[in-house]
Structure 1
Amino acid sequence: MFLKTQIFKAISFKNPVKLPLSYWILVFIRFALTLIPQRGYIHPDEFFQNVEVISGDIFTIDVARTWEFNPKFPVRNIFVPKIILGPPIHLIRILNPYTKNLINIDLKTPYYLLTLPRLFICFLSLINDYCLYRVCAMYGQNFRNRLNIFATSYVILVYCCRSFSNAFEMIFFSILLFLVAECMYKSDVAIYHREFLNEKYKQAKTLVEKVKIFKLITHLPDHSLNHVIFIATIVVMGIFNRPTFIGFAFPPIFFWLHRGLGSKVVGFKDFHYRIFLLILCGIPTVLLLILVDSAYYGYLTMADIESLKVSWDNWVVTPLNFVRYNSDMRNLIEHGLHPRWLHLAVNVPLLFNVIGLMAFFTITIHIYRFVRGQYSKLPRIQSITGLMIFSTIIPVGILSLFPHQEARFIIPVLVPLVFLYGNNLYPNDSDAQRIKLLKKVLRIVWYILNIVLTLFFGFIHQGGIYPFVSNLHREIKSSYGVHTHVITTHSYSIPTFLLQLESTNTIYKDKSSGHTYKLAPTTFLNKYGSMPMENIFIKVDEVLTNAEKLLHKYERQYRFYLVSPCSLEHKISHESSKYPQIDLREDFSYYPHFCSEALPEFPTRHDQFCSEHNMLGANASRAVDLTMYQRISCYFKRFCLRVYRISPATNFVIDY
């Protein structure tokens, strides 16, 4: 009876929930940084792959639907963004009438539209923390140190609180690692006790002893197919969210299938059963997601179902389209080609700094030992350490095969990295004094680098876009009907959903006359990327001419802005001088704003623009030697986003 109790106590492992105060402070900081809000803009995909499209569906507003959601060839699944971003956006839609009337708060403003979805994603990011905690506690590892390291990573503070599909991928990966780790733990315990009892059964001399041991064996819980339904579902949803999830799911699935192989009680028959049932359990989720995508993109309608005219043309498989699109090198060239060593040499140190370098050093040692045949010094293949090592190497290795590599593609690797090396930043009692000092230095470096990168990516990188959009939203709402033209250059695209522009695709009906009509657009966002400045001003001239034509013929009032990084002020000033009919005035500047597409040049000692903008007074009109302090100050002041108001020059008639 005692043996039976110990078996079940080991298998039904429960973790005491006792987390350090320092961790809860870090969680509070995570939510506080989200609410400030973070005005940094990491990549257009954080808006245009998810929240922009979902907002357009729920609010029925004009949004920018990117090529990935083109019904002719869709490559993005809609189910995962709907279940993650749908709740906070629906909450805004439902609560907004009440908050406006009762407490005079409009939730459909840029601040709430930005922060509430992020707040929900930030809450979901705690799933990563919980999974890491459970795995550490399950295997008797120090979860306190690891959670502190994990929660101070800027990947968690910035990337995982944004609506990146990579942030969703990290959640799926963490859950998968936890489920597989728990299955491995329970299988190890069950196999150990089964082998122990089988040996006792063979050694039993009396029938009574054999019956007792046999009853214990029959009461051992089945472990072979633990969590098979959940694992299959997570894998399928992860692949539909991002087909690159195949690379992240491969190591956990491999370890789940191979649990106990080589022991006396688990054979290849169990291995094949696991494969068969894993595939079988994934089929319902595959069919559901295909059905949702096919209906959303218009391939399958109720009329097709009612008439039973359903063929292969009525179905769309977005992950398959994703693979087909990215297998064409011409498509990858449009998005930018990178060297295949970029993940390993740049992105791993950039994302994971100290623990990324630790991983590189340790894995190099493991490879050396493997080549030298020192297999006894390598981690056991079916251990939790083996799972985490392969869950680090395989995804980075697979994603490095593709020539398009962005840092966010490998952020899920943070979970196994922290499990493996997070505790190495804290000294042990057995460490020598020199090792303790080294670990302390590495921990300080970890904190400093993550603070700097949190500030940079969270608040500085493309940081002028959000405050400009916030002010633009107020202007549009305060002067309804006035045409607003915005040209942006050398900056990321403006998230259109933040402006809450009325849909121009919705058909309205006049109750008195019965006529139907559509609203004409009044806000025009022209995004020209890194187009040469001479071409930009050709567009400016065209837009201004058309706006003036509407003003004189139909009295359509308008406002016109050119938005550009401050570092391009020389080029803009030079180019605008060629257009005497255009009056270009600096309206406002938003600081800080880092734009890698238009980095400022360090000022010379006689820089004219520095003389004008450094408050040199009368000296601005003549050559002045700038001090090094003034040059540095002027250089940093150029990291801003400048808004120019455009209008016809005084006493100049535009020929329209």
Structure 2
Amino acid sequence: MKLKRYINHLWLRHRNTDENWYTYLFFAVLRVVLVFIPQKGYVHPDEFFQSVEVMTGDHFQLEHVRTWEFNNTMPVRSITLQFVLLRVPWSFLEFVALYMRHYWDIELLQSYTYLVFPRFIMCALSFINDWSMYRICRLFSLNYEIRLLALSSSWVMLIFSTRTFSNSIELALGSLLLALVAECMIKTNTIIYKKEMLEERYDNAKSISERVRMWRLCKSLPAHNYSHTLLVASICVAGVFNRPTFIVYGAPMVFYWMLRGMGTKTITFRDFNFRMLLFCLSALPALVFFIICDSFYYKYLTVGELQMLQLSINNFVSTPWNFIKYNLDAKNTAEHGIHPKYVHFLVNIPLLYNVLGIVTIVSFAYLLFRFLRAEYQGLPRAQSIISLMTSAIFVPLFSLSLINHQEPRFLLPLLFPIVLLHAPKLYHGLCPNYPFKEEHPLLRKIYNMLLCPQASARPLMKTWYMCNIGLAIFFGFLHQAGIFPLTQHFETIMQNKSPAQHIHLVTSHIYNVPLTFINIPSAQVLHLNRETGRRYRRHKDFYIYEYGSLDMPHLLGKIKLILSYCENKYVTKQQQYGLYLALPASLSDSMLTELQTLGATTNIRTQLKHVFYPHISTEALPRFHIKQHSSKATTDSMLSYVSEQLLSFVREFGLALYEVQPASNSQSNKLHAVKMSKRKI
């Protein structure tokens, strides 16, 4: 009977292992597929304006928005990593696109490519997280299938890690650093254990030959004291230049890298200090490389000055230091939003990691409870992998909670240690055994409701899947999802319009529009005509006015001013123009109602050109417009009424594009009037 139970247990375990592994492969493939579909959802403006917008605009000489972070006076964003990850691959793609255009008449350089290609690079980079997870699990004999499954099925990996956020790069660098530190820890512990064992056998040896053999074995042990020093230091420098917040993420990892082996006869405080010194020296090459690259890009340093050695401290720029100086000023951070100190704990952690986020907070409270009750035997050992991962979660979490501006994406690097520590709880529950010493009725009730595996294991896994699927759909395909189709629409308009026509676009209640997706050659630089070999400057013919969440009367006032400007500038010169308004479809009724209220005073006529579905703006959420219905209605009319209400509600999940013209007469009529008047003269 026992043998039969054991065989059944092994069979179930093997079946679950295969199931988890195949499910992980499904989500890993899905991560790549979602890049090429592509995801039209727009998570946050920094997704584009801190990386792709600048790199793509610079490389292909397109019209683009250069945000304040890249101001040459005080740049706060390093360009080096973005240059390596985006600008260099763009050069290879441009080379391929040249031949595709010449031999097969296929144009690769368009809005779809500008969106998908950088995301594909970030997607490839995201698999560093998977490799690091697998590496640590193999080193410490942990179940890697369930952890890889939880990692790959997280919406953070499916959405955030494939987007061009600096936080996604921070996640990959943090995971790689954790893997290196964990490898160094287990290597040091293994070698120290072998060394102390051989030294003990050497002391107890009774013959000279045995002592010589023990001495040779001890000397043959590999070096471990300064393992991966250059690599660990370089990753830390790259992480800090990518985002200076990497300091709080990397600090506990570097501390554990220096602390490993402490407390034994072999490792002393002298070794700790030597490791710290060597770490600082090893960081210098990467530090110099990043500073020089940034200094060249922001024009602080030139090749001529470098050749003539006419250098001073003013020829170099340190973007992390500028970033820290900027954020130390409370007035600057207040411009981006002030949040309560508890937002990371109570909002952002559950939003990003749902079930595992709550499990993490509960587990930390449990450890704190044991510490306060002096149950030190139940706490993780100081130099264990559990202690490392716990520090990698809560040191950055507490540190970032002190900053008054808190966004969920700031906590992306916490995904790796959270999954490594707590992913098995999705299957086995929060706590397999009753964790408290005494049998207390209240504690037993809490344990039965929240912690025991029979009550919480399977529901946790189902909740994990449901939350991640819902968030992936919302942020990947619904949230601000009409903006990219809008840019594709204007890309077509700009390619098909006449050279003399000018296009003006007004946006409201949507995120900033990345101009590089419209694929307009820049009017700021000289372009090369490859056929004639001559350089030329292109006149500006596209203008965008972004008004955020401006209320409707003020928005219509702005549109009226722009329309008057266009009428005075273009119509009198017999030029054509197009004025468009893009806003969520949920605001269409409000706009039309406001136009009817103002009447002839606005002199504005709007015509709906297109609605891009789906699109959800949290600034203007869709809502039901309840209309009165007769109480004596029949069943058919009631069904018709309900379907009409539902259809009107569904229609609001879109981004509406209107063409704006003067209400008195159209632009063509005015041009015709001007021509006729000239003929009479």
CA contact (8 A) 1:20 1:144 kept: yes
Distance 1:474 1:516, change over 3 A: closer
**Which of the residues 661, 672, 681 maps onto 1:647?**
661
Whichever residue aligns with residue 641 of structure 1, its letter is L
2:515 is the alignment partner of 1:496:
yes
1:230-309 paired onto structure 2 within 5 Å: 230-309=231-310
1:203-242 paired onto structure 2 within 5 Å: 203-242=204-243
Greater mean deviation of Cα atoms: 571-580 or 217-226: 571-580
**Identical aligned pairs, as a percentage?**
36
1:287 offset after TM fit, Å?
1.1
**Aligned partners of 2:640, 2:410: CA distance in 1, in Å?**
44
**Aligned partners of 1:510, 1:363: CA distance in 2, in Å?**
63
Give 1:507's aligned residue.
Answer: 526
Give 1:377's aligned residue.
Answer: 378
1:529-582 deviation per Cα after TM superposition (whole angstroms, max 9, x unaligned): 112322322221222222223332333222111001122223312333434422
2:448 is the alignment partner of 1:447:
no
Distance 1:585 1:625, change over 3 A: farther
SS in 2 for 1:598: coil
Q: What runs of 5+ residues in structure 2 fail to find an aligned partner?
A: 1-18, 434-447, 630-636, 675-681
Give 1:464's aligned residue.
Answer: 482
Distance 1:43 1:203, change over 3 A: same
**Aligned partners of 2:180, 2:124: CA distance in 1, in Å?**
20
1:517-532 paired onto structure 2 within 5 Å: 518-532=537-551
Give 1:542's aligned residue.
Answer: 561
SS in 1 for 2:657: strand
CA contact (8 A) 1:594 1:639 kept: yes
Give 1:552's aligned residue.
Answer: 571
1:590 offset after TM fit, Å?
1.4
2:456 is the alignment partner of 1:438:
yes
2:606 is the alignment partner of 1:584:
yes
Give 2:330's aligned residue.
Answer: 329
**Aligned partners of 1:651, 1:474: CA distance in 2, in Å?**
27
CA contact (8 A) 2:581 2:657 kept: yes
Distance 1:603 1:122, change over 3 A: same
TM-score w.r.t. structure 2 length?
0.87
Give 2:394's aligned residue.
Answer: 393
Give 2:4's aligned residue.
Answer: none
1:402 offset after TM fit, Å?
0.3
**Aligned partners of 2:574, 2:29: CA distance in 1, in Å?**
53
Whichever residue aligns with residue 257 of structure 2, its letter is W
1:130-156 deviation per Cα after TM superposition (whole angstroms, max 9, x unaligned): 101110111000001110111000000
SS in 2 for 1:426: helix
1:398 offset after TM fit, Å?
0.9
1:441-490 deviation per Cα after TM superposition (whole angstroms, max 9, x unaligned): 11011111111111000000001101111111111112252211101111
Give 1:35's aligned residue.
Answer: 36
1:639 offset after TM fit, Å?
2.4
1:517 offset after TM fit, Å?
6.0
SS in 1 for 2:423: helix
**Aligned partners of 1:33, 1:43: CA distance in 2, in Å?**
18
**Aligned partners of 1:580, 1:175: CA distance in 2, in Å?**
59
1:362-398 deviation per Cα after TM superposition (whole angstroms, max 9, x unaligned): 1001011112211110011100111111111111111
Greater mean deviation of Cα atoms: 639-648 or 74-83: 639-648
**Aligned partners of 1:247, 1:382: CA distance in 2, in Å?**
19
**Aligned partners of 2:604, 2:207: CA distance in 1, in Å?**
105
1:69-95 deviation per Cα after TM superposition (whole angstroms, max 9, x unaligned): 010110000001111122442233212
Distance 1:286 1:19, change over 3 A: farther
Give 2:626's aligned residue.
Answer: 604
**Aligned partners of 2:246, 2:78: CA distance in 1, in Å?**
13
Give 2:437's aligned residue.
Answer: none
Whichever residue aligns with residue 142 of structure 1, its letter is N
Give 1:150's aligned residue.
Answer: 151
Aligned residues between the structures: 624
Greater mean deviation of Cα atoms: 180-189 or 108-117: 108-117
Give 1:12's aligned residue.
Answer: none
Whichever residue aligns with residue 453 of structure 1, its letter is L
Give 1:568's aligned residue.
Answer: 587
CA contact (8 A) 1:602 1:631 kept: yes
Whichever residue aligns with residue 548 of structure 1, its letter is E
1:97 offset after TM fit, Å?
2.0
**Aligned partners of 1:153, 1:245: CA distance in 2, in Å?**
22
SS in 2 for 1:382: coil
**Aligned partners of 1:514, 1:427: CA distance in 2, in Å?**
69
SS in 1 for 2:346: helix
**Aligned partners of 2:281, 2:199: CA distance in 1, in Å?**
32
CA contact (8 A) 2:427 2:460 kept: no
Whichever residue aligns with residue 608 of structure 2, its letter is E
CA contact (8 A) 2:584 2:615 kept: yes
TM-score w.r.t. structure 1 length?
0.90
CA contact (8 A) 2:560 2:602 kept: no
1:348 offset after TM fit, Å?
0.4
Q: How much is the aligned-residue C-alpha RMSD, in angstroms?
A: 2.7
1:633-653 deviation per Cα after TM superposition (whole angstroms, max 9, x unaligned): 433432221111111224379
1:168 offset after TM fit, Å?
0.4
**Aligned partners of 2:309, 2:349: CA distance in 1, in Å?**
52
Give 2:7's aligned residue.
Answer: none
